[in-house]
Amino acid sequence: MNLTLKVWRQKNATDHGRIETYEARSIPAEASFLEMLDIVNERLIEGGGEPIHFDHDCREGICGMCSLTINGVPHSKERGITTCQVHMRKFRDGDTIWIEPFRARAFPVVRDLVVDRTAFDRIVAAGGFISVRTGSAQDANALPVPKDDADASFAAAACIGCGACVAACKNASAMLFVGAKAAHLNLLPQGKPEQDKRVLAMVRQMDAEGFGGCTNQYECEAVCPKEISADVIAKLNRDYTAAAVKEAVC
Amino acid sequence: MASNGSPLHSAVPSGPLADKWTKHKNESKLINPANKRKYSVIVVGSGLAGGSAAATLSELGYQVKCFCYQDSPRRAHSIAAQGGINAAKNYQNDGDSVYRLFYDTIKGGDFRAREANVYRLAEVSANIIDQCVAQGVPFAREYGGLLDNRSFGGAQVSRTFYAAGQTGQQLLIGCYQALSKEIARGGVKMYSRTEMLDLVLVDGHAKGIIVRDLVTGEISRHAADCVILATGGYGNVFYLSTNAMGCNVMAAFRAHKRGAYFANPCYTQIHPTCIPVSGDYQSKLTLMSESLRNDGRVWAPKKKEDAEAIRTGRKIAADIAEDDRDYFLERKYPSFGNLAPRDVSSRSAKEACDEGRGVAPTGLGVYLDFRDAIQRLGRNTIEARYGNLFQMYEKIAGTDPYTSPMMIYPAVHYTMGGLWVDYNLMSNIPGLHVLGEANFSDHGANRLGASALMQGLADGYFVIPATLPNYLAGQKPGTVKTDDPAFAEAEEAARARIHQLLSVNGKRTVDSFHRELGMLVWDKCGMARNEPGLKEALARIPAIREEFWSNVRVPGEGANLNAELEKAGRVADFIDFAELMCHDALNREESCGGHFREEYQFTEADDDVKSGYTNPGEAKRRDDAFCHVSAWESAGPGNTPILHIEPLAFEAVKLSVRSYK
Amino acid sequence: MNPLGKAILQFCRSTIGRKLIVALTGVLLVLFLLGHVAGNLLVFQGREAMNDYAQFLHTMLHGQGVWIARIGLLIAVGLHIWATVSLVKDNRAARTERYALPATVQASKSSRIMIWSGLTILAFVVFHILHFTVRIDPALANLPDAAYAAAHPGESRHDVYAMVIKGFQNPLVSLFYIVAITLLCSHLSHGIASLFQTLGWRSRKSAALEKQLGWAIAIALWIGFLSIPAAVLTGALKDKPSVSGQKAAIPSDPAAPAPRQG
C-alpha cells in the first residue's frame, strides 16, 4: 500500500520542530506500524537522509516505550493496544497518516517523536512504592488478601507507564497514571501503612511536574492500552482528600 | 575435550549440597554498616537482576550507580515474561520441595548446570515470593485470599506463582518501585538512556565503566569499587527473536574483550510457540504463551501436496481430513504429547517444515489447533482460558483462532550461556560480577519455564548482597578515580570506535547487516547445527565484519540522540559474538538441551531406543567428553578464542538420558 | 503560618483540592438551581402564589435569610469561578505545543466547552440580577402588587409575577435567557456527573447511572426554567389584571423603590 506520512521532525530539545511530509510506497499490509516506519527509515538512510527517531523496545505491547500519536490519538484509534501492536492492515491504501509525539509540557521532546517521560519516574520515586527492606518480609501467605482486592489491584497495576493518558488528555493530566499506581498499592493490605503519605507525595510531585488537572473527560481511559478504568482517578481523589484532611487535623 | 587454557575455580564451598549456601554465608566476609557507605558499586542493567541488586545494595548502605539504555528502569525486558515464577513453597501440598525444584531445573538443563548454584537458586526461591508479595506484587489469589499456583512445563507439581499473563511486568514493577524508593532516598543514582561502552580494568580489577549518554552523546567515565553487569541475554544476535529491539550483548561482550570468559555461548533457547515470520520487513517475533499447548493440538499435513496447497491459498486447514493430519508431538511423545519440553517441541516443528510440510506462506509454520478443545469444552471455556492470547494473535496475524487454527513456529527466546561466574557470581575478572540472564550459571543447556524470573531476582535480592563483600572486603574503598590512565585509554578507545562507525559512510544500513548476520546464524547455529554448517558460518562471518566496517552507513552525528549509531555499535559486537557462538557450537560435539548437533542424536542402533526409552532423533549427550562448562577467553577478533574448562561434578544427582515419551 | 492553615492552603493549591472545591460549590449551586426553578414555577399558580413565595423569601429569619443565602451563593460562585479559571490556566499551560491534528475519542462536547458555558452563564447571572433583583429597568422596578395592597391596607409588596411576565415579553431578554439556560443544561450535563468522580464516588458500575442523573437534572432544569419564557412568548402566560383591580394600588415612589422582593 502507498501512504502519505505527516511526521513531526525536531532535531533536539531546543530546535523548533515542524511537520514534514513523506511518501511511504509499497508498504506490506502485514507489517506493523513501527515496521512501516523502519522501512521508511531504511529508505531515508539509503537516500542520504536522517531517519525518523521514535521510541520503541519490546514491540509486543508491554514495555511502554513506544509513544506515537497517530492521527491525533495516542497509540492510534484502535482500542486497548500500544503503537507497536498497530498493524498496517488497519489503514487503507492512499491514506494520509499524521504522526506526532506525545504532547505535554511535562514530556519535552528529545528528538522527532521521542519524548522524555522521566516525570513519571519522579512521581513513582515520590511515593509509588511500599517500603520493604529485602529480607524483612514475612511468609507470603501470612497475610491473606481478598481475591476481589487482589484482582482490582492487579487491574490497576497493569499500567505500563507509556504516558498515552497524558498525551490524550485535553489538559495533559497524569491522573490516570498516578491513580493507577496509587490504587495498585492502596488496595492491598501491604500498601495501607503508607497510603496517606504516598498519595500526598505523588499528587504533589505530579502537580510540580506541570501536568494539568483532570476534567473528567475520560480520554485517558479510552486510549489506555491496558484499558485501565478512570475509577482509579475517583479513588485517588478520595484517598488524597482523606489524606489531606488527616494531615490538616491530626 | 581438552582445553587450551587454564582450568577454572568455581569457589563452590565444600560439604553437603543442602548446606553449602548456609555454610558459604556463614563463612563470607562482612563489611560493617559504617563502612558500607564508603564503597561504591556500579550496576549496569535495571531488569529483575540489576534492579533488585541496585535496590538491595543501596538499602544495605552502598553507594550505587545504576545504568540502563531505556528511558526508564521500568522498561527492561524482564517485563515481557508472561508465564510465572517458580518457588519451592509447597503451598499446594503436592510434595514439592527445594530438592525437587533443584532436580527439575538440573534435569531440564540437561545436566549442564552447576549443581551448587542451582540448589541455591531453589533454596532462595521461597524468599523471593515473600519479598515480592510484601512489595505489593499482585499475584493471582484463590478465593480464600491465599496465593494461587499453576503447573508449568517440565514439572509435575504446581509451584508457579503468576499474575495473569504479566508476571514479568508485575515483578519488574515491584523491583522498579524498590529501586525508585532508593533513588529518592539518594542511595542510588540512576542513569537512564545511558549505554555502557566499555569496562575499565585497573590492575586487573574491574573498577569502572565508560558510558555514552544516548540523548546528548556525551561520553563519560564512572569509577567504583566493583562493577555488576546485569545486561540480559544475546538472543538478538539472530536478528529476529522475542527479545526487545534494544537487547544487546555489548556490555557483556566488551567485558569479554577485556578478559572476562564467556561461557557456553552456544546454549540458546528456541521457544516453540511464536507467531511465524511474515516477511523481510519483520523486526521481531512475538511469543504466544506456552500455556496454549495445554489445549491446543500441534499438527502439520501428512502430505507435502496438502501443505503446498495451503501455502498457496488453494486449501485451508479445514479442508485437510483428519487422517491426513499429523499430530506429530502426540505421535512421537505419547505420554507428554503437546506438552513436550521447549527444545523437543521446537525441533519437531522444524523437522516437519524441513520435510516440506510447513503451512505458513514462508513454509515455516505449523498449526496449533483448538478445534477439538472448542468442541469438547465449548467456546466460552476456551475464551475464559485464552481469550487475551487469542485476541493478541488476531491483532498480529489477522486471523481468528476460534475459526481457523493458529500458526506457530519456534523463535529464539532466551540464552542460557553468558559470562562465566563463580559461586559468588564473580567473573574471572576480580570485581566484575554478573547476574541474571547475562551470566551462565543456573540453567545449563536449557531453561525451564518460569525459571528466568526466579534466577534474576535470586541473584539480585539474595545472592549478590551476601557474596559481594567477599570481594569488597579485600578492597580499600574509593581508591580508584576516573583520572586513572586506564579510564583515559578506555574512553579514547570508545570515542575512536564511535568516530570510526560514523566515518565509514558506506552504502548499507546497519539493519541490513544485522539481518544478514541473523539469517546466517539462524541457519547454521539455530535449532540444529552441524559441523559443515558451523564451519561455513565461521568462514562467512569475517566477510560480514569486513563489509560492515567498510560499507556501513551511520547517518547523523555523535552529539545527539542517534538510534542508528546505537544500533551500529551493538551490531558490530553481535558480529564478533556470532563468531564466538559458532566456535562454541562447533567445539561442543554433543547434543544437549538447546544445543542440537545433528551428528549426535539417538538412532535405531542405540540401546535406549531399542528398549523404547527414547526415540531416534533425540538429542544425545556425551557426558564422557562434554560434562563441563566451556568458558572462552577472547583472543581478539578473527582469532580462535581460548577455551577454559570448568568440569561439572554431579554429587547429588545421577546423570541420565532425558526422556519425555 | 500554623500547620492547619498551611495544610489547607496546600490542599487548595493542588489540582485535586481545587477540583474538590469546584465539585462542592457545584453541589451547592445545583441545589440552589433546583430550589430556584421550583419557586419560579409558582408563576403558573398565579400572581398570589408567586408573590407570596417572593415575600416569604424576603421575610424568613426576619429578613436575614435572603442575605445569608445571597452571601453563601456569592462565596460559592466566587470559589467555583476562581478554582475553575485557575485550573483552566494550569491545564492550558500543561500543553505548550498543541497537536497539528487534534482528535477527540470520547470526551463529550459539553465537557469541552465548560469554561465557555460557565462564563456565559456568569454573564447571564450578572444580567439576571440587574434585571430582576436590582431592577435597573424602571418599567420593572415600579410594579406594586395591587391586590396585596388592597387586602393589607398600609402594606405593599412588589409584584414579582407581573415583573416576570413583563420581563420576558422582551424578545431579546428571552433569547438571552434561552441561550444561557441551554448552556447551563450543557454545563450541568457534564458537571453533575463529574461531581461523583471528583468526590470519589464513581465506579465502572455506577458511571452510567451518574451520567444519566446529570442529564436528567440538567434537562429538568432546562424544561423548568424555559417553560416560563415559552409560556410568556406564546401568550399562555399573561399579566391579567388582578381581581381587586389595579386602581386601588398605592403609587410608589420611583426614587425609593418598594422593598425588593424579587
Pick from A219, A236, A237: CB nearest C104:
A219
A106, closest residue in chain C (CA to CA):
C94
- CB contacts, 8 Å: C4 with chain A: 248-249
Among candidates A19, A219, A241 on the partner chain, residue whose Cβ is nearest the Cβ of C100: A19
Check CB contact under 8 Å for C16 and A223.
Answer: no
Query: How many angstroms separate the CA atoms of B57 and B463, rounded?
Result: 11
pLDDT at residue number B146: 97
How sure is the predictor about B401, in pLDDT bands with cuts at 50, 70 and 90? very high
Q: Does domain A117-249 have CATH number 1.10.1060.10?
A: yes
Residue type present at position B252: A
CA gap B166, A62 in Å, rounded: 8
Residues 106-125 of A with CB under 8 A from B: 110-111, 114, 116-118, 120-121, 124-125
Whether there are 3 or more C-beta pairs closer than 8 Å between C and A is yes
- Looking at per-residue pLDDT, the higher value among B392 and A186 belongs to A186
Cβ distance A170 to C112 less than 8 Å, yes or no, reads yes
Mutant choice from B127, B139, B149, B177 vs A, greatest count of A C-beta within 10 A: B177
Q: C194 to chain A: nearest residue by CA? A: A216
**Is B71's CB within 8 Å of A116's CB?**
yes
Asked if pLDDT for residue C247 goes beyond 50, the answer is: no
C-alpha distance from A241 to closest chain B C-alpha (Å): 23
- In chain A, where does DSSP find H-type helix? 33-46, 118-127, 147-157, 164-168, 175-186, 195-208, 219-223, 231-249
Which among A222, A244, A248 has the least Cβ separation from residue C105? A222
Would you state the pLDDT for residue C251?
44
DSSP character for C112?
Answer: H
Please state which CATH class domain C11-93+108-248 belongs to. mainly alpha
Q: Which residues of A touch C114 (CB under 8 A)?
A: 215
Please report the residues numbered 161 through 220 in chain B whose beta carbons come closer than 8 angstroms to any beta carbon of chain A. Answer: 163-164, 166, 168-170, 173, 176-178, 180-181, 183-184, 190, 192, 215
Is the pLDDT score of B154 beyond 80? no
* Maximum distance among all Cα pairs of chain A, rounded to whole angstroms: 67
Of A126, A134, A140, the CB nearest to B147: A140
Q: Tell me: pLDDT of C244 over 70.
A: no
Residue A131: which of B168, B181, B556 has the nearest Cβ? B181
Give the mean pLDDT of A43-55: 96
Residue type, B497: R
**A171 with C7: Cβ contact below 8 A:** no
For B119-152, the pLDDT digits (tens) are 999 999 999 999 999 999 999 999 999 999 988 7
Cβ of C4 within 8 Å of Cβ of A249? The answer is: yes
Q: Can you give the pLDDT at residue C241?
A: 64
A:B CB pairs within 8 Å: 217
**Coil, strand, or helix at residue C28?**
helix
Q: Place A19 in a pLDDT band, splitting at 50, 70 and 90.
A: very high
The reported pLDDT for the residue numbered C254 is: 43
With 60 as the cut, is the pLDDT of residue C105 above it? yes
Higher local confidence (pLDDT), B383 or A66: A66
Q: Which three cell numbers stand for residue A241?
A: 482528600
Q: Is C256's pLDDT higher than 60?
A: no
Among A216, A229, A236, the residue to mutate for chain C (most C Cβ within 10 A): A216
d(CA B81, CA A155): 18
Q: Exposed e or buried b for every residue in B633-642, given b needs 16+ CB within 10 A?
A: bbeeeeeebe
Which chain B residues are within 8 Å of A57, Cβ to Cβ? 70, 75, 77, 244-246
Angstrom distances, CA of residue B407 to CA of A59, B66, B234, B312, B587 = 19, 41, 26, 15, 35
Work out the average pLDDT over B621-639. Answer: 92
Question: In what side-by-side order are the strands of the sheet with B432-434?
Answer: B188-191, B63-67, B40-44, B226-229, B432-434
* pLDDT at residue number A250: 79
The per-residue pLDDT for range A117-166, each reduced to its tens digit, is: 999 999 999 999 999 999 999 999 999 999 999 999 999 999 999 999 99
- Candidates C223, C261, C221, C171; CA nearest to C29 is C221
- Number of Cβ within 10 Å of residue C31's Cβ equals 11
pLDDT of residue B538: 97
Residues B100-123: b if buried by 16+ CB within 10 A, e if exposed = bbbbbbbbbbbbbbbbbbbbbbbb
- Please name the residues between 579 and 638 in chain B that touch chain A, using a CB distance below 8 Å: none
Instruction: Report A:146-185 residues touching B (Cβ under 8 A).
Output: 146-147, 150-151, 153-154, 157-158, 160-161, 184-185
Write down the residue that cell numbers 440538567 correspond to: C218
Q: A197-201, B342-346, B473-477: lowest mean pLDDT where?
A: B342-346
Do the chains B and A touch each other, judged by at least 3 C-beta pairs below 8 angstroms? yes
When mean pLDDT is compared across A140-154, B280-294, C73-87, the lowest value belongs to B280-294
Q: Distance (Å, rounded) from C-alpha A233 to C-alpha A230?
A: 5
Q: How far apart are CA C15 and CA C20, in angstroms?
A: 9
Q: Find, in chain B, the residue whose alpha carbon is nearest to that of A126.
A: B184
- Summary count for chain C: helices (H), strands (E): 11, 0
Domains in chain A: boundaries: 3-111, 117-249
The highest-level CATH class for domain A3-111 is alpha beta
Residue whose C-alpha cell is 540458546 = B268
CB contacts, 8 Å: A173 with chain C:
15, 91, 94
Contact A213 C193 (CB under 8 A): no
Q: Which residue has the cell 444561557?
A: C180
**Which residues of chain C lie closer than 8 angstroms to A17, CB-CB?**
97
Chains contacting B (3 or more CB pairs within 8 Å): A
**C-alpha span between A140 and B359 (Å, rounded):** 46
Measured between beta carbons, the chain A residues lying within 8 angstroms of C97 are 17, 103, 109
Per-residue pLDDT tens for B402-439?
Answer: 999 999 999 999 999 999 999 999 999 999 999 999 99
Question: Helices C207-233 and C160-169 sit at what angle, rounded to 10 degrees?
Answer: 90
Kindly indicate the confidence band of residue B13, based on its pLDDT and cuts at 50, 70 and 90. Answer: very high
Q: Which residues of C62-99 are buried (b: 16+ CB within 10 A; e: fewer)?
A: eeeebeeeeeebeebbebbeebbeebbebbbebbebeb
Interface A:C, Cβ pairs < 8 A: 151
pLDDT above 50 for A107: yes
Chain A hits for C99, CB-CB cut-off 8 Å, are 69, 72, 100, 103
Q: In angstroms, rounded to a whole number, what is the distance separating the alpha carbons of residues A211 and A173?
A: 5
Q: What is the pLDDT of residue A118?
A: 98
Taking CB atoms and an 8 Å limit, are B190 and A58 in contact across chains?
A: no
**pLDDT reported for residue B278:** 86
Query: Closest approach of chain C CAs to the CA of A176, in angstroms?
Result: 12
State the pLDDT confidence band at B631, using cuts at 50, 70 and 90.
very high
pLDDT band at B580 (very low <50, low <70, confident <90, very high): very high
Tell me the nearest-neighbour CA distance from A138 into chain C, angstroms: 33
Residue B386 has pLDDT above 60, yes or no: yes
Strands of the sheet with A73-74, listed across from one edge: A18-24, A3-9, A96-101, A68-70, A73-74
pLDDT at residue C255 greater than cutoff 70:
no
C-alpha distance from B609 to closest chain A C-alpha (Å): 42
Average pLDDT of the residues in B348-369:
93
Residues of B designated catalytic: 342
> What pLDDT shows up at residue C139?
86
Instruction: Check CB contact of B146 with chain A, cutoff 8 Å.
Output: yes
C262: confidence class by pLDDT, cuts 50, 70, 90 = very low
B560 vs A12, A51, A158: nearest CB: A12
How far, in whole angstroms, is CA A162 from its chain's centroid?
2
Cβ distance of B140 and A150 shorter than 8 Å:
yes
Assess contact for C30 and C38: CB atoms under 8 A.
no
Answer yes or no: is pLDDT of C36 > 70: yes
Cite the DSSP H helix spans in B378-451. 379-397
Distance from CA of B20 to the nearest CA of A (A): 19
A17 contacts A10 by C-beta, under 8 angstroms: yes
Express as a percent the part of chain B with pLDDT over 70.
99
Chain A residues closer than 8 Å to C98 by CB: 103
Total-model pTM: 0.95
Question: Which domains does chain B carry?
Answer: 271-413 (3.90.700.10), 485-647 (1.20.58.100)
Q: Cα(B500)–Cα(A54) distance, rounded to whole angstroms?
A: 25
Residue B250 cell numbers, joined: 555489548
Q: Which residue has the cell 461523583?
A: C196
- Which pLDDT score, from 0 to 100, does residue B4 have? 62
Grid-cell match 535495571, residue found: B46
Count of H-run helices and E-run strands, chain A? 8, 7
In the predicted structure, residue B264 carries a pLDDT above the cut 70: yes
pLDDT digits 0-9 by tens, B204-247:
999 999 999 999 999 999 999 999 999 999 999 999 999 999 99
Would you call B131 and A190 a contact, using CB atoms and an 8 Å cutoff? no
Which letter, b or e, does each residue of A158-177 get, where b requires 16 or more Cβ atoms within 10 Å of its Cβ?
Answer: bbbbbbbbbbbbbbbbbbbb
Helix (H) or strand (E) holding B581: helix B563-587
B129, B121, B91, B80: which is closest to B104 by C-alpha?
B121
Average pLDDT over residues B596-606: 93
B586-608 mean pLDDT: 94
Chain C residues touching residue A95 (CB < 8 angstroms): none
CA Rg, chain C, in Å? 22
Note the pLDDT of residue B291: 78
> Is the pLDDT assigned to residue B256 strictly greater than 90?
yes
Closest CA of chain A from B563, distance in Å: 7
